[in-house]
Amino acid sequence: MPKLTVDGVEIEVPAGATVLQACELAGKEIPRFCYHERLSIAGNCRMCLVEVKPGPPKPQASCALPAAEGQEIRTDSEMVKKAREGVMEFLLINHPLDCPICDQGGECDLQDQSVAYGRGGSRYHENKRAVTEKYMGPLIKTVMTRCIHCTRCVRFSEEIAGVDEIGALYRGENMQITTYLEQAAKHELSANVIDLCPVGALTSRPYAFEARPWELKKTLSIDVSDAVGANIRLDSRGREVLRALPRINDDVNEEWLSDKGRYMVDGLTRRRLDKVWIRKAGKLAEADWADAFEAIAAAKPGNSIAAIAGDMVDCETMYAAKALLGALGSDLLEGRQTGMDYDVSNLAAVNFNSTLAGIETADAVLVVGSHVRWEAPLVNVRLRKAWKNGAKIFFVGPEFDPTYPATFLGNDLSVLGKLPKDVAEAFKSAERPAIIVGGAALAKGALAPALALAEKLKIVKDGWNGFNVLHFSAARMGGLMLGYAQQGGIADIAAAKPKVVLFLGADEVDFSQFADSLKVYIGHHGDKGAHAADIILPAAAFSEKDGTYVNTEGRVQFAEKAVFAPGDAREDWTILRALADALGVSVGFDSFEQLQAAMIAAVPALGVEGLADYGALPKADAKAKVEGMIEAYPIKDFYLTNPIARASVVMQECSAELLHGDDVREAAE
Amino acid sequence: MADRHLAADTPELRARWDAFEFSPAWKAKADKAIAQYPEGRQKSAVMALLDYAQRQVGEETNTQGWLPLPVMEYVARYLDMPIIRVVEVATFYFMYNLVPVGKFHVQVCGTTPCMLRGSDAIMSACKARGMSVGHTTDDGMWTLTEVECMGNCATAPMVQINDDNYEDLTPERLDAVLDALAKGETPKAGTQEPGRHTSEPSGGPSTLKDMVSENHDYRGEW
């Protein structure tokens, strides 16, 4: 713990800290461009110069200088001021100063820091360097003349994303940041370089010239594109969400966000259900709310009514539907749309127990049936970190490129019963072993054998529970907490032959099994569910309602409403409340607050933000066995997994170009 | 040399170079270079391998050699490293030619000491022979480039042609060198000044004269 002084104030800093961090601890702002907490230190922008004694009588780059005992650091001296002005002047020599037409304007590090630390004006009258634009795919817009060569994007793609695709070519003033042959950046986190870029060189292509940051209303929300529950900020103007940006939460998403979570928001204004529709003689016809409620009441469901929750619904909606069904005397609730029927009697067994932050400390990981890179890109980043810290990672399932070296043990699930020797040894010597069970394995009934294996491998230790289930539906854990699960899965509901089925934004169901039921779709996008429905009640998307979500590690998080739903669409709970009246029952709430209070009274854990406690793992059935092969992962197309993404033009472009680009090119040839 | 750029990725380029492989002789050298580094650090040999690849391309095309994209991709595969990292190295160092060059790559130093000693005249002499900066002559013999300091300031002005330096040049001496090269001869590398061996003071030593014949101890005279 070195003791040093910053501007005359003595402080003690943790061992291994840099001078820059020491200054920050002392409350001093150090301007920087290339330094980033989550990336390696490059030390090439020189903006963080400070005066350090003892040392050479010249300013030193604080980001790359270790803090040491007895250092006297000055950030306020004339030398530092001059150094910063000098560096800033050099950086601006080749910067175009086109702020009025630059999308970074208003949230630009270079802009802010040149105001704060630069000279008043320019003394440079020569020609400036110009660099051609570089194509980096449908998400990243480049104006490389603005690049100041901080190399954050290069370091991100190499260190965090794990795909070396961005590089710095040539040298000196000719240095250019590009991808090889200007190929599109093919990675699920590629757009994070836009946030990292301290200038306007890499900006968001879909958001280009849309808005200025100061025009936008900022709403704290939760990403529903996967079960990680990344913390996001929705920037909206008027009735439209213009962009989603990650918020920093070290426990969940650090400061990254998957491309899908970031760019599916343009789908919020497309293919929306904004009117009530009723199917008449096989064709959907426009109707009004009263007709629709009348039609549902006319079906006289009684207690023969079921509710199936989709992947993106909030807990309040699910609780409102549960209350409605409860009032009618039914408990036919299910959220696992594709027919999975794993045992949910103990929620700890279907939870990501090691926590997302914890998995990066694991030293041996067995992933069973999960295409982690697509099902939860942010978990894959954690696994990559674990590998960097020396973890051995094994996969059961079809091979894919996880961005770090991993051993694929084949598609046969019976390997769980008889691990290869090297895997068994890796787990034997591991202090923090972990198993991750994915959707493909759950569907094959591998949960019980995985639990048995966990017990055999002593996955649960003092202060460590490495048994993880990785879901990819944002509604899953909340749904399970609210009882959205039947013993036999959705098949039980089909077998009960309900007269009315409420589909709460459920689009992935096999609707043919409910051919004889009145299918009521309460959702926001004209997707598969709406196509199959008899009655469509337009509802709100995640951005248009307050709601509670529980991520795959059981973290209860609250999302706020950013904009109003379009047209006749209403918040889901109000629809269900009105439906209760139509069906002549009382659900016991008249406002969102009452609904939330009732939900929290029923499931107290949903009222506390943070990790829910599901207790210990159940006793495993040592005889549990699983046979069969994992033929494929459930996600076929990373960019088109939910109705919002399918409606999004940007996601369709990404899918076409990044995933099917080669097919298209071959077809054209 | 601000006009460095990668050769366009054309079907012709692919057709010509996609099948590139190290010949046995170069492969042996490449493997030896890789063996110099610990296992798993084979990437460290990238500079050597790029050089060997360039030389092999030179042998195949009877030029100094250059690095077509497929060849860089081959090196990347050979070392199991991302192609962008190979391209970063190849574009950083001027010794790697990114576009085809002629049989003789004439690199005229134009940095201050050489300029003061007459590199402008050297450049003119090259141009008088039909070369122009950044281009290869039509007969494929000569490529002219202006480069920065090559570290031969004591024998300025100088040019580097392929692997050899020719120093103490005058337009006449340069012509003699180039004529010899054109005829297929191998002119003497190094200084072209008669009576000078390497970079020792021209016209005999002006200081430490007693050191010429023996290891003289000057300390008593200080």
State whether A164 and B4 contact (CB < 8 Å).
Answer: no
Cα of A386 to nearest chain B Cα, Å: 19
Q: A348-373: string of b/e by CB count within 10 Å (b at 16+)? A: bbbbbbbbbebbbbbbbbbbbbbbbb
Residue A455 to residue A254: CA distance in whole angstroms: 31
pLDDT at B170 exceeding the cut of 60: yes
What pLDDT score was predicted for residue A112? 95
- A451 and chain B in contact, CB less than 8 A: no
Please provide the DSSP assignment of A167-188 as one string: EEES-GGG-EEEEGGG----ST
What pLDDT score was predicted for residue A354? 95
From the list B81, B82, B88, the residue facing A169 with the nearest CB is B88
Residue with tokens 């250019």: A176
What pLDDT score was predicted for residue B60? 95
End-to-end CA distance of chain A: 64
State whether B92 and A181 contact (CB < 8 Å).
Answer: no
Residue A213 to residue A200: CA distance in whole angstroms: 13
Cα of B50 to nearest chain A Cα, Å: 16
- A404 and chain B in contact, CB less than 8 A: no
Helix (H) / strand (E) element for A527: namely: none
CB-based contacts of A74, cutoff 8 Å, min separation 6: A6, A7, A50, A51, A52, A53, A80
Q: Are A252 and A228 in contact (CB under 8 A)?
A: yes
From the list B4, B6, B84, the residue facing A167 with the nearest CB is B84
pTM of the model: 0.92
Q: What is the pLDDT of residues A225-259, one digit of tens each?
A: 999 999 999 999 999 999 999 999 999 999 999 99
Taking one residue from A and the other from B, the number of pairs with CB-CB distance under 8 angstroms is 31
Residue A533 to residue A632: CA distance in whole angstroms: 29
Residue with tokens 């970031």: A262
Interface test with B, best of A136, A153, A169, A181 (most B CBs within 10 A): A169
Chain A residues whose beta carbon lies within 8 Å of the beta carbon of residue B84:
164-167, 179-180
Q: Are A311 and A528 in contact (CB under 8 A)?
A: no
Residue A435 to residue A414: CA distance in whole angstroms: 15
Q: A236-256: string of b/e by CB count within 10 Å (b at 16+)? A: beeebbbbbbbbebeebbbbb
pLDDT at A663 exceeding the cut of 80: no
Residue A466 to residue A435: CA distance in whole angstroms: 6
What pLDDT score was predicted for residue A665? 54
The residue type found at A574 is T
Q: Is A500 helix (H, G, I), strand (E, B) or coil?
A: strand
What pLDDT score was predicted for residue A661? 78
Q: What is the mean pLDDT of residues A568-578?
A: 96
CB-based contacts of A487, cutoff 8 Å, min separation 6: A341
Q: What is the pLDDT of residues A546-563, one digit of tens each?
A: 999 999 999 999 999 999
From the list A164, A170, A173, the residue facing B91 with the nearest CB is A170
Name the residue of chain A whose CA is nearest to B81's CA. A164
State whether A164 and B84 contact (CB < 8 Å).
Answer: yes
What are the start-end ranges of the E strands in A569-635? 610-611
State whether B91 and A171 contact (CB < 8 Å).
Answer: yes
pLDDT at B147 exceeding the cut of 60: yes
Distance of CA B142 to the CA centre of its chain: 13
Tell me the sheet residues that pair with A334: A308
Cα of A181 to nearest chain B Cα, Å: 8
Tell me the sheet residues that pair with A9: A6
The C-alpha R_g of chain B, in whole angstroms, comes to 21
- A164 and chain B in contact, CB less than 8 A: yes
State whether B82 and A170 contact (CB < 8 Å).
Answer: no
Q: Which residues of chain B are at the A interface, by a Cβ-Cβ cutoff of 8 Å?
A: 2, 4, 6, 9, 69, 81-85, 87-88, 91-92
Residue B197 to residue B190: CA distance in whole angstroms: 8
- A69 and chain B in contact, CB less than 8 A: no
Instruction: Phi first, then psi: give them for residue A133, nearest 5 degrees.
Output: -65, 150
Count the residues in chain A: 669
Q: What is the pLDDT of residues A276-303, one digit of tens each?
A: 999 999 899 999 999 999 999 999 999 9
CA-nearest of A279, A277, A306, A293 to A579 is: A293
Q: What is the mean pLDDT of residues A263-275?
A: 95
Residue A333 to residue A331: CA distance in whole angstroms: 6
Q: Are B131 and B107 in contact (CB under 8 A)?
A: no
What pLDDT score was predicted for residue A38? 94
Interface test with A, best of B10, B69, B83, B84 (most A CBs within 10 A): B84
CA-nearest of A565, A566, A559 to A596 is: A559
Strands A231-237 and A217-222: antiparallel
Extract the tokens encoding A258: 């998957």
The residue type found at B105 is H
State whether B82 and A168 contact (CB < 8 Å).
Answer: no
From the list B2, B83, B92, the residue facing A180 with the nearest CB is B83
pLDDT at B3 exceeding the cut of 80: no
Average pLDDT, chain B: 93
From the list A168, A173, A181, the residue facing B88 with the nearest CB is A168
What pLDDT score was predicted for residue A379? 96
- A165 and chain B in contact, CB less than 8 A: yes
Interface test with A, best of B6, B88, B93, B94 (most A CBs within 10 A): B88
**Alpha carbon separation from A317 to A421, A540, B176 (Å, rounded):** 48, 10, 90
From the list B6, B9, B88, the residue facing A167 with the nearest CB is B88
Name the residue of chain B whose CA is nearest to A179's CA. B84
Q: Are A542 and A314 in contact (CB under 8 A)?
A: yes
Chain B residues whose beta carbon lies within 8 Å of the beta carbon of residue A174:
2, 4
From the list A168, A174, A181, the residue facing B2 with the nearest CB is A174
Extract the tokens encoding A540: 């709100």
What pLDDT score was predicted for residue B208? 85
Chain A residues whose beta carbon lies within 8 Å of the beta carbon of residue B92:
169-171
pLDDT at A309 exceeding the cut of 70: yes
Q: Are A545 and A313 in contact (CB under 8 A)?
A: no
What pLDDT score was predicted for residue B1? 46
Chain A residues whose beta carbon lies within 8 Å of the beta carbon of residue B91:
169-171
The residue that leads in pLDDT, A39 or A1, is A39
- A174 and chain B in contact, CB less than 8 A: yes
Chain A residues whose beta carbon lies within 8 Å of the beta carbon of residue B68:
none
Q: How many CB atoms lie within 10 A of CB B201?
A: 11
From the list A167, A171, A174, the residue facing B87 with the nearest CB is A167
Residue with tokens 């894919």: A400
Q: Are A298 and A488 in contact (CB under 8 A)?
A: no
Chain A residues whose beta carbon lies within 8 Å of the beta carbon of residue B96:
none
Tell me the angle at which helices B171-182 and B119-128 cross, rounded to the nearest 10 degrees.
40
Is the alpha carbon torsion for A344, A347, A352, A353 positive or negative?
negative
Cα of B199 to nearest chain A Cα, Å: 31
State whether A169 and B9 contact (CB < 8 Å).
Answer: no
Residue B13 to residue B61: CA distance in whole angstroms: 13
- A180 and chain B in contact, CB less than 8 A: yes
Count the residues in chain B: 222
State whether B84 and A170 contact (CB < 8 Å).
Answer: no
Please provide the DSSP assignment of A262-317 as one string: HHGGGGGGSSB--SEEEEETTEEEEE-HHHHHHHHHHT--TT-EEEEE-SS--HHH
Burial of A323 (0-12, 13-18, 19+ CB in 10 A): buried
Q: What is the pLDDT of residues A82-125, one digit of tens each?
A: 999 999 999 999 999 899 999 999 999 999 999 999 998 889 99
Cα of A385 to nearest chain B Cα, Å: 19
Name the residue of chain A whose CA is nearest to B69's CA. A181
State whether A180 and B85 contact (CB < 8 Å).
Answer: no
Residue A664 pLDDT class (50, 70, 90 cuts): low
pLDDT at A610 exceeding the cut of 80: yes
pLDDT at A667 exceeding the cut of 60: no
Percentage of residues in chain A having pLDDT higher than 70? 99
Please provide the DSSP assignment of A401-469 as one string: --SS--EE--SBGGGGTS--HHHHHHHHS-SSEEEEE-HHHHHTT-HHHHHHHHHHTT-EETTEE-EEE
Question: Angle at CA A142, nearest 5°, toward A136 and A146?
Answer: 145
What pLDDT score was predicted for residue A668? 53
Q: What is the pLDDT of residues A152-200, one digit of tens each?
A: 999 999 999 999 999 999 998 899 999 998 888 889 999 999 999 999 9
Q: Is B45 helix (H, G, I), strand (E, B) or coil?
A: helix
CB-based contacts of B152, cutoff 8 Å, min separation 6: B109, B158, B165, B167, B199
What pLDDT score was predicted for residue A627? 87
State whether B84 and A165 contact (CB < 8 Å).
Answer: yes
pLDDT at A666 exceeding the cut of 80: no
The residue type found at A535 is I
pLDDT at B4 exceeding the cut of 90: no
Chain A residues whose beta carbon lies within 8 Å of the beta carbon of residue B87:
167, 169, 180
**Alpha carbon separation from A612 to A225, A485, B100 (Å, rounded):** 21, 18, 65
Residue A390 to residue A286: CA distance in whole angstroms: 60
- Of A37-41, A449-453, A626-630, the poorest mean pLDDT is in A626-630
State whether B82 and A164 contact (CB < 8 Å).
Answer: yes
State whether B92 and A174 contact (CB < 8 Å).
Answer: no
Instruction: Say whether the peptide bond before residue A54 is cis (omega within 30 degrees of 0).
Output: yes
Name the residue of chain B whose CA is nearest to A176's CA. B88
Residue B85 to residue B83: CA distance in whole angstroms: 5
pLDDT at B202 exceeding the cut of 60: yes
What pLDDT score was predicted for residue A440? 94
Q: Mapped to the 3 state alphabet, what secondary structure does A2-54 carry?
A: CEEEECCEEEECCCCCEHHHHHHHCCCCCCCCCCCCCCCCCCCCCCCEEEEEC
**Domains defined along chain B, listed by start:** 11-92 (no CATH), 104-191 (3.40.30.10)
